[in-house]
Amino acid sequence: MEDDFERYALTGWFPGHMFKAGKKMEEALSLVDMAVELVDARAPFLTRNPNLRRILANKPFQLIANKQDLASPAACNAWKQYCMEKGLPIHFQDSRRMANVKALPALWRKMVLDARQAKGVTRPLLRPVRVIIAGVPNIGKSTLVNHLGDRNRAQVGPKPGVTRSNQWIPIGNGVELLDTPGILWPKIRNKKHELLLGLLNILNDELLPPELLAEYLAWELERQNIPINWGGYGLDGVPSDATTLLEAIAKKRSFVKPGGKLDVERAAITFVKDFRDGRLGRITLEMPPQPKESSPSEAPKQ
């Protein structure tokens, strides 16, 4: 399957939102002691917001790769190793599982208190540690916040010393969360990046035609040589192109438009949904960067 995605222009949807949300985020970050950024375990760096850590200055920061259950376990391990070597530990989790998230508040409190100590602050912190959960749309922020905050929801309310529109949700362990939707917009690098964000359901589905998302997904599967059960779509093996694939799916599922033409759009929606729901298997779309191989001219002389 050919890689020719650059022939499509970017949808150009982000800049306005990015600016407004960026300003709001800067305000929110000035109120918290630390930030937690949620990224997608299937593409951890391509779903990061490059500006968050810069805005945070010297405050503690935790990177959580969410939706671990949908990512390849081997790839998650490779990412853990890579990030550890870079001095930015990454924690993988499925935020829908309570067992995965219950230890987080105590860890966040410790991170903030340790950072104060490292700065030489000796005054005890007499208030709860304040944390914001940030990340791109649909990444699982509310899922995590609700898991952590459920029991204390009723107590939510404005507190003195905090702007009235900002509310704090106490979550126990001496931690409270800033109740602001910590939505970040990723900086879209190129068309392939935009399609990846679309595939991961981070961009609004109305922005990108499903056939294009399906073509990109099929191309990624082929590029990475990821085996999937093509037989389930009525194919003998890897399809030669996206049209063959979508027509096979439409035939197999009897997706036919009035007049008898195959409904390839519906086939594309099905294929993309199967990926998003994990029915194609646990698939990672972005691997950690490889160390640059030395070119022959740079190779050490024997």
Ligand X SMILES: Nc1nc2c(ncn2[C@@H]2O[C@H](COP(=O)(O)OP(=O)(O)OP(=O)(O)O)[C@@H](O)[C@H]2O)c(=O)[nH]1
Residues near ligand X (CB under 6 A): 66-67, 69-70, 94-96, 135, 137-143, 181, 183
Residues 76, 79, 81, 87, Cα dihedral to 10°: -140
Q: Identify the residue whose tokens are 């969360």.
A: 177
Cβ-based nearer residue to ligand X, 143 or 152: 143
Q: What would the two tokens of residue 292 be?
A: 């640059």
For ligand X, the nearest residue by Cβ is: 140
Question: With CB cut-offs between 5 and 8 Å by kind, which of ligand X, Mg ion, none does residue 184 bind?
Answer: none
CB half-sphere exposure, 134, CA atoms < 13 A: 29
Query: From the list ligand X, Mg ion, none, which binds 1 (C-beta under 5 to 8 Å, kind-based)?
Result: none
Judged by beta carbon distances under 5 to 8 A according to partner kind, the member of ligand X, Mg ion, none in contact with residue 172 is none
CB 202 within 8 A of CB 40: yes
Q: Which is nearer to ligand X, 192 or 276 (CB)?
A: 276
Closest to Mg ion by CB, 42 vs 141, is: 141
Which segments of the chain are extended strands (E)? 34-40, 61-66, 90-92, 129-135, 168-170, 175-178, 182-183
Smaller CB separation from Mg ion, 142 or 240: 142
**Between residues 44 and 140, which has the closer beta carbon with respect to ligand X?**
140
Candidate list 77, 81, 117, 142; residue touching Mg ion; CB under 5 A: 142
- Among the listed ranges 138-146, 148-156, 166-174, 250-258, the one in contact with Mg ion (CB under 5 A) is 138-146
Q: How far apart are CB 259 and Mg ion at their closest, in Å?
A: 41
Minimum CB distance to ligand X, residue 181 (Å): 6
d(CA 64, CA 107): 13
Binding of Mg ion at residue 190 (CB under 5 A)?
A: no
Closest approach of Cβ 150 to ligand X, in Å?
A: 13
CB of 201 to Mg ion, least distance (A): 13
Pairing of strands 175-178, 168-170: antiparallel
Residue 180's binding partner among Mg ion, ligand X, none (Cβ under 5 to 8 angstroms by kind) is: none
Shortest distance (Å) from residue 126 CB to ligand X: 31
Phi-psi region of 230 (alpha: psi -120 to 50; beta: other; left: phi over 0): alpha
Let me know: does 283 contact 226? Beta carbons within 8 Å.
Answer: yes
| Cα angle 88-90-96, degrees, rounded to a multiple of 5 | 155
The DSSP output letter for 292 is: P
User: Interface residues with Mg ion (CB under 5 A)?
Assistant: 141-142
